[in-house]
Amino acid sequence: MDRRQFSLSLAGGLAVGFPAAAGELELRPLCEITARLLPPVDIGEGPQGRRRVISISGGEVVGERLRGVVLPGGADFQRIRPDAVTEIQARYVIETHDGFKVYVENTGLRHAPPEVMARLMKGEVVDPALVYFRSAPRFEAPDGPYTWLERSLFLCSGARYPEHVVLRFFEVT
């Protein structure tokens, strides 16, 4: 197959070049986290945008394969870019129902139309359907029953409320 045929095949459905064993991607629910938040610490504007730090005071982890609590002490480190997109870097620890501690580093993006973001930044309740809030969490677990968390990729959909955030985690299969 020459380059032109390959390009046409790709445009026709992306079926060429992938073995059947590769399979389709699916999202398998992992858990839902409700994390309680302290008021934001606004660091101010800099050359790359506005910086904020939002401390996590605790929370709950509910799921069939992962459940427990979010320990106090984590934080969400945000940069609000000049284009009004918020870059999110959250770091926190989950203590599972059976006593294991799992470190989470969750990076993502949040944005919405300017009027919606203005309301969100004021601490108002905003319909989560109006806000793009997605992230890609990574887990670090001690040897034991949760090491499988380090062997898969995960995606997350979030919703921000005035005093908490709700995060829905999915494993990419």
State the pLDDT at residue 123: 85
State the pLDDT at residue 18: 53
Q: How confident is the model at residue 16 (pLDDT cuts 50, 70, 90)?
A: low
Query: With 70 as the cut, is the pLDDT of residue 20 above it?
Result: no
Q: How many whole angstroms from its chain centre is CA 103?
A: 14
Among 52, 74, 78, smallest CA distance to 133 is for 78
Mean pLDDT of the chain: 90
Residue type, 153: L
Q: Provide the whole-model pTM.
A: 0.84
Query: With 80 as the cut, is the pLDDT of residue 90 above it?
Result: yes
Q: Which domains does the chain have, with CATH numbers?
A: 24-172 (2.40.160.20)
Q: Which residues fall within 8 angstroms of residue 96, CB to CB, at 6 or more apart?
A: 61, 66, 67, 68, 102, 146
